[in-house]
Amino acid sequence: MRDHSWEAARTDAHRLGALRTARTESIDLHHAAGRILATELRANYPLPHCETSAMDGYAVNGPGPWQLLADLAPNPGEGKTPGIAEGQAIAVVTGSLIPTGTTSILRVEDSHRDGALLVADRPPRTGADIRPAGTEAAAGELLASAGTRLRAGVLATAAVSGHDELSVFARPSVHLVFTGDEVVTSGYPAPGQVRDGFSPVLPLLVATLGGQTSGTTRIGDTLEATVAALDSASARDANIIVTTGGTGFSDRDFVRAAVHELGGSEVISSIAMRPGHPSMLSSLPGNRLLVALPGNPLAALMAAATLVDPILRGATGRAPARLRAAVSTADFGPLPGRTRLVPASWTRDAAGPDALAPSEHIAPAMLRGLAAADAILVIGPEGAAAGAPVHYLELPW
């Protein structure tokens, strides 16, 4: 068994996800938040689609003073107002259509009335506060590429550019299998037991990464139970199975044996990372992928960032998460052959740029350091000196 490098594990996971691209579906814009665009988003019409006033005030023609035709602006939605001749003005509000003949908009705060006349306190330049059609986008112009997550900005842009339905990738279905005779799901664990740290967060994590949990199974440590869990109706229908625990090589670890018994094959048997070394990625009959997360909680979540995130990104038309650059506050000595994933948080140092400080409490079986983290430092085998550039991943969930 040869370790995959951490980088190769991410790349292979992404490639295998992309080979199983999710189908697309059309979804009402109001229910599309967080989904991933499956096609380009283009403007259905010019933005803005008509010439309008950018301010409350008056549409004026020529230099003032002006004869005011109407001092109450009509509702912009009622359509075209009458035109104005030179020396005339008409009240408008922000968003009103520009009457024919308008040379500029005089803001209400820059004007006063002198009997029937409208006078400028600050004469507007020609064209002032007239919003021409098409200045934000021409009809058909690209607003967002396929693979874009529909966050607030993109979703609002889709709405104002005339979209009611959006084509998005279906959420790949993920079946979760939690192993461990010693795992308890509520109350205080007895000596030897552990409180389950996975079932409260993995469905959330899967959803945040772009999938949906289609089923969960909790099993004890036997080969029969593990095979049955990976071969259940829900697990057979899923695109991806994620298991927790049981990745090791003891006679109480059965995930690898169950994969082989079901005719699957290990694509990634282990990863040269710390924590998370025994993580595994297998293909299973039925075009399914199985991600085996180690039982140690921090190791499992670092493995999820390494495997589950890239698979779901690949399956929904997105690139792998970008490695970003920062400086670390701490020295990391060399660790030959291993990439370290280290929960870290931003510190503000008055003397220098913001830097990432590794959390305390980051042993593989601990979670407290991740709870306090803003990001994950990615430290290569050569280590890194304090203050030198390092890579980090944004927390993917």
Ligand X SMILES: Nc1nc2c(c(=O)[nH]1)N[C@H]1C(S)=C(S)[C@@H](COP(=O)(O)OP(=O)(O)OC[C@H]3O[C@@H](n4cnc5c(N)ncnc54)[C@H](O)[C@@H]3O)O[C@H]1N2
Q: Per rule CB under 6 A, is residue 295 in the interface with ligand X? A: yes
The answer to whether 294 contacts ligand X (rule: CB under 6 A) is yes
Taking the C-alpha atoms of residue 43 and residue 10, their distance in angstroms, rounded to an integer, is: 35
256 is a site residue for ligand X (CB under 6 A): no
Q: Which is nearer to ligand X, 180 or 358 (CB)?
A: 180
Collapsing DSSP states into helix, strand and coil, what is residue 8? helix
Question: Would you give the binding string for ligand X spanning residues 358-397, x where CB under 6 A is met?
Answer: ------xx--------------------------------
Give yes or no for a contact between 20 and 239, defined as CB atoms under 8 angstroms apart.
yes
**Is residue 314 a contact point for ligand MOO (CB under 6 A)?**
no
Q: Is 390 near ligand MOO (CB under 6 A)? A: no
Partner from ligand MOO, ligand X, none contacting 254, C-beta within 5 to 8 A by type: none
- Is 299 a residue that touches ligand MOO (CB under 6 A)? yes
Q: Which residue from 122, 12, 8, 9 is spatially nearest to 58, judged by alpha carbons?
A: 122
Residue nearest ligand X (C-beta atom): 295
Measured CA to CA, the distance from residue 115 to residue 83 in angstroms comes to 22
The DSSP code for 200 is T
Q: Which of 276, 314, 317, 358 binds ligand MOO (CB under 6 A)?
A: 276
In what helix (H) or strand (E) does residue 6 lie, and over which residues does it extend? helix 6-18
Cβ atoms within 10 Å, residue 53: 26
* Site for ligand X contains 245 (CB under 6 A): yes
Site string for ligand X, 141-180 (x = CB under 6 A): -------------------------------------xxx
- 389: its two tokens: 């550039």
> DSSP readout, 268-337?
E--BSEES-TT-EEEEETTTEEEEEE-SSHHHHHHHIIIIIHHHHHHHTT-PPPPPEEEEBSS-B---TT
Task: Look up residue 13 and give its two tokens.
Answer: 């996971």
What sign results for the dihedral spanned by CA atoms 257, 271, 20, 37?
positive
Span near ligand MOO by CB under 6 A; candidates 102-110, 156-164, 292-300, 327-335: 292-300
Residue of 284, 276, 338 whose CA lies nearest to 309: 276
245 near ligand MOO (CB under 6 A): no
CB-CB contact of 221 with 270 (8 Å): no
**Could you say which of 65, 278, 343, 396 contacts ligand X (CB under 6 A)?**
278
Among 124, 245, 294, 320, binds ligand MOO (CB under 6 A): 294
Question: Residue from 364, 380, 381, 383 that binds ligand MOO (CB under 6 A)?
Answer: 364
296 contributes a contact to ligand MOO by CB under 6 A? yes
**Tokens at 47, concatenated:** 């933005």
Q: What is the DSSP track for 341-362?
A: EEEEEEE--TTSS-EEEEPS--
Residue 194 binds which one of ligand X, ligand MOO, none, with CB within 5 to 8 A depending on kind? Answer: ligand X
- What letter represents residue 66's amino acid? W
* Interaction of residue 183 with ligand X, rule CB under 6 A: yes
Applying CB under 6 A, which of residues 25, 182, 231, 261 lies at the interface with ligand X? 182
Binding window for ligand MOO (CB under 6 A); candidates: 51-59, 97-105, 294-302, 319-327: 294-302
| 277 near ligand X, rule: CB under 6 A | yes
CB of 195 to ligand X, least distance (A): 7
- Contact residues: ligand MOO, CB under 6 A: 274-278, 294, 296, 299, 364
The site for ligand X (CB under 6 A) is made up of 178-180, 182-183, 194, 196-198, 244-248, 253, 275, 277-278, 294-297, 299, 364-365
